[in-house]
Amino acid sequence: MLVEVENLRIAFPTPTGLSEAVCGISLALGQEKLGIVGESGSGKSLTARALLRLLPRSAQVTAERLSFDGIDLLRADERTMRRIRGRRAGLILQDPKFSLNPVMAVGEQIAEAWRLHKQGGRRAAREAALALLDQVRIRDPARVAGLYPHELSGGMGQRVMIAMMLAPDPELLIADEPTSALDATVQAEILRLMEDLVARRGMALILISHDLPLVSHFCDRVIVMYAGRVMEALAARDLAQARHPYTRGLLACLPSLVHPRAPLPVLARDPAWSP
Amino acid sequence: MRAWLLTDAPNSRRQAAWGRRYRSWLLFRANHLAFAGLVVVLVLILVSLAAPVLATHNPYAQDLADRLAAPSPRHWLGTDELGRDLYSRLLYGGRITLGMVVAIVLMVAPVGLIIGCVAGYLGGLADRVLMRVTDIFLAFPRLILALAFVAALRPGISSAVFAIALTSWPPYARLARADTLTVRNADFIAAVRLTGARAGRVILRHVMPLAVSSVIVRVTLDMAGIILTAAGLGFLGMGAQPPTPEWGTMIAATRGYILQQWWVPTIPGLAIFVAALAFNLLGDGLRDVLDPKQR
Amino acid sequence: MSGSVHARLARLAGTAGSVPITLFGLILVTFLIGRVMPIDPVIAIVGDHAPPDVIARVRAELGLDRPLPVQFGIYLDHLLHGDLGRSVMTTHPVTQDIATYFPATFELATTAIILAILVGVPAGVLAAARQGSRLDHLVRVVTLTGQSIPVFVLGLIFLLTFYVKLGIAPGTGQIDVAYDGLVEPVTRMLVVDAALEGQWDVFWDALAHLALPALVLAYFSLAYITRMTRAFMLDALAGEYIVTARAKGASGARIVWRHAFGNIAVPLVTVIALAYAGLLEGAVLTETVFSWPGLGLYLTVSLLNADMNAVLGATLVVGLIYVVLNLLADLAYRVLDPRTR
């Protein structure tokens, strides 16, 4: 098992007391592609960031178990975490306009990711960066490497992000809403690219999204989250036979060209789902 | 009462508005430094207003036999170079300083607000002309332009007030203009105009109230700067003239005594520091509550 | 994130595009102050005790019997020829006086800004990186005090502490009386001139005299620079790209300096230019306290003597420098930031 999480709780202090954003999540990940689906505020991004201990200092993280390849992440010190981050697990964020350093050329950012974990000088890093840009199917890598993030389109920016996170050859890739900021046409391309690279490198993938059909298409297993809790966990191919009313409600909300439904059903939220 | 203010489901707009104000007040009070600033400012105002009652001596009464005396039960803070009681002069000096600041703010804030709102709302030529004028005044360092003005008029409190006011209004105009530009194209402004309201009414009743809060924050933050500028003018002999007990002027007259009777110039200096510090803390606290984005 | 740094900067730097108009406005304002506002501009220039023929001559020179626009034209003409009038106090042309006294202010201001940058920028960066720590609180106390204390009070306190009580700093003035006039005034910055001539006694004495006023001014600038650095860094550290850098496994120091600081370096240059401009104001008061023979002292003394030509000349020059510094600040931002290319 690559990742093991048991009863993860993440709380934030607020003026009116402690607010729990994640209330007891458990999951296990092996060499597979796991999708985490939920609406905004369900706690899916927080869970992913907790795996790399990238939450803000004010966050209070507790769990019975939080481990990566057997390493206890709760008790790990900063140096141990730095050896995991990047080298063994990478994180792709949503919007390259904000997640890339605006005043650094993208080639340099990829080279930095390479140099942090691999032995080699500037020239080796630059060559590696160009090779990675080629792997993410960017034409003319040498020209793009000198560009700044604001000069890139959304799709190109995400390719750069992917290249950057794959530079140290990690075992796990966590993608937090990687396509939510992209046009629909570009979304599919980026996801296929990620799928291809993950398969070729033998990596595990955690794909976080609010888009249920997208996740079910690209992942082996799906976890459905709501209000900081896991509502249901099932294999992707069994999604149509989901049993939890929340999942069924999500499925029912999806508009369909083939079976049009006049008026679209609205999800009825049961307060029992978030006590 | 508290429950009525903090309820999650207010029954009227008034209740909601008061609830909001109360919540802002709670937030402000939680900031201990800002609250301390508010307390000190209030104390300063009270003490200045009550100066005639609180003073032990006439601030102009000289006693040349008792010059430069150390603090004693008779003269709580000692005496200055002409034997005048420092404590009483300090109190009356507070009046002058606060009076100058209030006068300046009362001149500067409305003028800046109006110019900024008019420029922002009307746009076009009016906007360009008004902003050029604003830029020209912003291009001068405040103290130096104030000095030049006072030099042309007669040095004194009213010249100083007028000079500082003349150099302080530009930032408010810019702030008000920026706020106006953000709401100028809002739907509710269009709605008011559709009902036939003329530009003046729209600006006065609908645009200006929205620009007021950032102006208030800026005013409080600026007050410290105004106090320092006024004291600076006094120190250079261009503000209040002796024997008026303005803090800056007092320091100028007694700075030669720093070697022996160091408290004589230092105590008014400390007073200026405390006043400016209080306004800075208050301003920071207000900004955190009213406009946290500006932080 | 970057949006608010931009917005903050836009508020600070103002518009530089209208420099010629601003300069024109400056000249117009000084003209109004000098010729229109005083009750009798001639008396303002030549003083109360001037003989009647001098008064009549100056009145004719200034064209005070002509209409205002003509007077302004005469004023403008004089300016363009570098003629700022003659100082009643020193009897030299004002331009010559300014050339004599400006270098001392330049020496003082430049030393102060260098000190302020060397201490203030790292302090601001570290305070933001360790927000809430003791260092952060110390920095905030220092900046708050620097914003609240009048510069002349601080100067007096420094004099009291270091000169009177501790005796480790020399008194006021630029140089000890014993060394006065020993060095050839090449740049008129005593420290530089003494070093150029190899007169090391004079050099050390000049440096010692420079220390206190420079420290006072530096504290001021430091309060401003540290506050802005800290604010910029807090904004930068909240950015998403910082999460990315952490996810890459970069160390804390690298994140703070290479990534966050790299993002604020350009706006910081603008802040420093503005801080330098702000030093001009502080210099007026500091030079008065320390009897430092610079432009600020010249301005103050002219004010006390009601020497209008000198006052206006100095005001105009200071205003000009201010405008140029603001322009440089804006240009630096446009040139250095890769996002504006």
State the ipTM, two decimals.
0.90
Q: % helix / strand / coil in chain C, to the nearest 5?
A: 75, 0, 20
Please name every residue paired with A221 in a beta bridge, in sequence order, or none if there are none.
A34, A235
The pLDDT of B179-202, averaged and rounded, is: 82
Q: Residue C333 above 80 pLDDT?
A: no
Q: Which residue of C has its CA nearest to B136?
A: C22
Contact C277 B141 (CB under 8 A): yes
Q: Which residue of B has its CA nearest to C149?
A: B273
List the single best residue of C234, C244, C256, C263 to mutate versus A (max A Cβ within 10 A). Answer: C244
List CB contacts of A84: < 8 A, sequence separation 6 or more: A52, A68, A71, A73, A76, C249
Name the DSSP class of B155. S
Q: Are B47 and B94 in contact (CB under 8 A)?
A: yes
Q: Which residue has the higher pLDDT, C109 or C67?
A: C109
CA distances from B147 to B215, C28, C45, C311 (A): 26, 16, 16, 9
Work out the number of other CB atoms within 10 angstroms of the CB of residue C262.
Answer: 15
Contact C153 B153 (CB under 8 A): no
Q: Which residue of A has its CA nearest to C340?
A: A150
Question: What are the contacts of A9-14 at 24+ separation with CB within 8 A?
Answer: A9/A60, A9/A61, A9/A62, A9/A63, A10/A43, A10/A46, A10/A47, A10/A50, A10/A55, A10/A59, A10/A60, A10/A61, A10/A228, A11/A59, A11/A60, A11/A62, A12/A58, A12/A59, A12/A60, A13/A58, A13/A60
Give the containing element (helix H, strand E) for A204: strand A204-209
Q: How confident is the model at residue B294 (pLDDT cuts 50, 70, 90)?
A: very low
According to the model, what pLDDT value does residue C109 have? Answer: 93
According to the model, what pLDDT value does residue C261 have? Answer: 93
The pLDDT of A50-78, averaged and rounded, is: 90
Contact C26 B139 (CB under 8 A): yes
Cis omega (within 30 of 0) for bond into C150: no
Give the percent of chain A with pLDDT over 90. 55
Q: C159 contacts in B (CB within 8 Å)?
A: 258
The pLDDT of B209-235, averaged and rounded, is: 86
Distance from CA of C34 to the nearest CA of B (A): 7
With an 8 Å Cβ cutoff, the interface of chain A facing chain C consists of 49, 52, 54, 78, 82-87, 90-91, 93, 95, 98-104, 112-113, 116-117, 148, 150, 161, 164-165, 168
Q: B141 contacts in C (CB within 8 Å)?
A: 277-278, 280-281, 318-319, 322
Contact C262 A104 (CB under 8 A): yes
> With b meaning 16 or more CB within 10 Å and e meaning fewer, what string describes C196-221?
eeebeebbebbeebbbbbbbbbbbbb
The pLDDT of B35-51, averaged and rounded, is: 91
Query: Which residue in A93, A103, A165 is closest to C263 by CB distance?
Result: A103
According to the model, what pLDDT value does residue C217 have? Answer: 94
Q: Residue B203 above 80 pLDDT?
A: no
Name the DSSP class of C255. I
Q: Give CA C117 to chain center in angstroms.
A: 14
Q: How confident is the model at residue B293 (pLDDT cuts 50, 70, 90)?
A: low
Alpha-carbon distance of C312 to C221, in angstroms, equals 26
Alpha-carbon distance of C290 to B180, in angstroms, equals 46
Alpha-carbon distance of B57 to B79, in angstroms, equals 11
Note the pLDDT tens digit of each residue in C240-275: 999 999 999 999 999 999 999 999 988 898 889 889
Q: Which residue has the higher pLDDT, A28 or C172?
A: A28
Token readout for C336 is: 């250095």
Q: C263 contacts in A (CB within 8 Å)?
A: 101-103
The pLDDT of C126-154, averaged and rounded, is: 91
The pLDDT of C45-56, averaged and rounded, is: 77
According to the model, what pLDDT value does residue C9 have? Answer: 57
Q: Residue B134 above 60 pLDDT?
A: yes
Task: Give A153-197 as a DSSP string.
Answer: -HHHHHHHHHHHHHTT--SEEEEESTTTTS-HHHHHHHHHHHHHH
B117 backbone dihedrals φ, ψ, rounded to 5°: -65, -45
Chains touching A, CB cut-off 8 Å, 3+ pairs: C
Q: Are A90 and A103 in contact (CB under 8 A)?
A: no
According to the model, what pLDDT value does residue C327 have? Answer: 81
Task: Name the residue with tokens 């369909």.
Answer: A256
Alpha-carbon distance of C56 to A238, in angstroms, equals 105
Task: Give A88-115 as a DSSP string.
Answer: TEEEE-S-HHHHS-TTS-HHHHHHHHHH
Q: Which residue of C has its CA nearest to B268?
A: C153
Alpha-carbon distance of A182 to C244, in angstroms, equals 19
Q: A101 contacts in C (CB within 8 Å)?
A: 241, 244-245, 259, 262-263
Query: Which residue in B140, B144, B231 is closest to C150 by CB distance?
Result: B231
According to the model, what pLDDT value does residue C16 have? Answer: 46
Q: Residue C64 above 80 pLDDT?
A: no
Distance from CA of B18 to the nearest CA of C (A): 31
Give the percent of chain C with pLDDT over 90. 25
Contact B143 C281 (CB under 8 A): yes
The pLDDT of B125-139, averaged and rounded, is: 83
Query: Which residue in B136, B149, B224 is closest to C25 by CB distance?
Result: B136
Note the pLDDT tens digit of each residue in B149-174: 887 777 888 888 988 998 888 888 88
In this structure, which amino acid lies at residue C26?
L
Q: Residue A95 above 50 pLDDT?
A: yes
Number of Cβ pairs < 8 A linking chain A and chain C: 76
- Left if phi > 0, otherwise alpha if psi is -120 to 50, otherwise beta: which for A89? beta
Q: How confident is the model at residue B219 (pLDDT cuts 50, 70, 90)?
A: confident
Q: Are B168 and C332 in contact (CB under 8 A)?
A: no
C90 backbone dihedrals φ, ψ, rounded to 5°: -100, -10
Q: Which residue of B has its CA nearest to C289?
A: B255
A174 backbone dihedrals φ, ψ, rounded to 5°: -105, 120
Q: C11 contacts in B (CB within 8 Å)?
A: 174
A152 backbone dihedrals φ, ψ, rounded to 5°: -105, 150
List the single best residue of B134, B138, B145, B220 to mutate versus C (max C Cβ within 10 A). Answer: B145
According to the model, what pLDDT value does residue C165 have? Answer: 79
Instruction: Determine which of A153-162, A227-236, B145-154 has the lowest per-residue pLDDT on average.
Output: B145-154
Distance from CA of A246 to the nearest CA of C (A): 31
Name the DSSP class of B79. B
Burial class (CB in 10 A: 0-12, 13-18, 19+), C315: buried
For C:301-320, CB contacts with B below 8 A are 303-304, 306, 308, 311-312, 315, 318-319
Please name every residue paired with A71 in a beta bridge, in sequence order, or none if there are none.
A68
The pLDDT of B115-125, averaged and rounded, is: 85
Q: What is the pLDDT of chain A when averaged over all its residues?
A: 89
**A234: three-class secondary structure by DSSP:** strand
Contact B145 C11 (CB under 8 A): no
According to the model, what pLDDT value does residue A88 have? Answer: 92
According to the model, what pLDDT value does residue C5 have? Answer: 57
Q: C280 contacts in B (CB within 8 Å)?
A: 141, 144
Alpha-carbon distance of C273 to C270, in angstroms, equals 5
List the single best residue of A103, A106, A152 to mutate versus C (max C Cβ within 10 A). Answer: A103
Give the containing element (helix H, strand E) for C206: helix C200-237
Angle between helix B86-122 and B170-184 (nearest 10): 40
Query: Which residue in B136, B141, B295 is closest to C318 by CB distance?
Result: B141
Query: Which residue in B142, B152, B273 is closest to C148 by CB distance?
Result: B273
Q: Are B237 and B285 in contact (CB under 8 A)?
A: no
Contact C266 A103 (CB under 8 A): yes
Please name every residue paired with C284 in a beta bridge, in sequence order, or none if there are none.
none
According to the model, what pLDDT value does residue C72 have? Answer: 81
According to the model, what pLDDT value does residue B295 have? Answer: 38
Domain spans of chain C, in order of start: 3-80, 94-340
Burial class (CB in 10 A: 0-12, 13-18, 19+), C32: middle
Q: Which residue of A has its CA nearest to C237?
A: A56
Query: Which residue in B135, B259, B266 is closest to C22 by CB distance?
Result: B135
C248 touches chain A (CB under 8 A): yes
Burial class (CB in 10 A: 0-12, 13-18, 19+), C19: middle
C221 touches chain B (CB under 8 A): no
The pLDDT of B28-52, averaged and rounded, is: 89
Q: How confident is the model at residue C2 (pLDDT cuts 50, 70, 90)?
A: very low
Q: C250 contacts in A (CB within 8 Å)?
A: 82, 86, 112, 116
Note the pLDDT tens digit of each residue in C186-242: 777 777 777 777 778 888 888 888 999 999 999 999 999 999 999 999 989 999 999
Note the pLDDT tens digit of each residue in A190-213: 999 999 999 999 999 999 998 888
Q: Which residue has the higher pLDDT, C79 or A63?
A: A63
According to the model, what pLDDT value does residue A36 have? Answer: 93
Q: Residue C135 above 70 pLDDT?
A: yes
Contact B277 C164 (CB under 8 A): no
Question: What are the contacts of C301-307 at 24+ separation with CB within 8 A?
Answer: C301/C89, C302/C87, C302/C89, C303/B147, C303/B150, C303/B151, C303/B236, C303/B237, C303/B238, C304/B237, C305/C47, C305/C88, C305/C89, C306/B151, C306/C44, C306/C47, C307/C45, C307/C47, C307/C87, C307/C88, C307/C89
Q: What is the pLDDT of chain B when averaged over all its residues?
A: 84
A171 backbone dihedrals φ, ψ, rounded to 5°: -90, -25
Give the percent of chain C with pLDDT over 70. 94
Note the pLDDT tens digit of each residue in C286-317: 999 898 989 989 988 888 777 878 888 888 88
List CB contacts of A90: < 8 A, sequence separation 6 or more: A165, A166, A168, A170, A172, A173, A174, C247, C248
Q: Give CA B25 to chain center in angstroms.
A: 21
Q: Residue A262 above 80 pLDDT?
A: no
Query: Which residue in C11, C18, C147 is closest to B135 by CB distance?
Result: C18
Question: What is the value of pTM for the model shown?
Answer: 0.85
C26 touches chain B (CB under 8 A): yes
The pLDDT of B68-75, averaged and rounded, is: 81
Q: Residue C7 above 70 pLDDT?
A: no
**A54: three-class secondary structure by DSSP:** coil
SS3 labels along C108-150:
HHHHHHHHHHHHHHHHHHHHHHCCCCHHHHHHHHHHHHHHHCC
Q: Tell whether domain C94-340 is in CATH 3.40.50.360.
A: no
According to the model, what pLDDT value does residue B181 have? Answer: 83
Q: Which residue of C has its CA nearest to B275?
A: C148
Q: Which residue has the higher pLDDT, C34 or C316?
A: C316
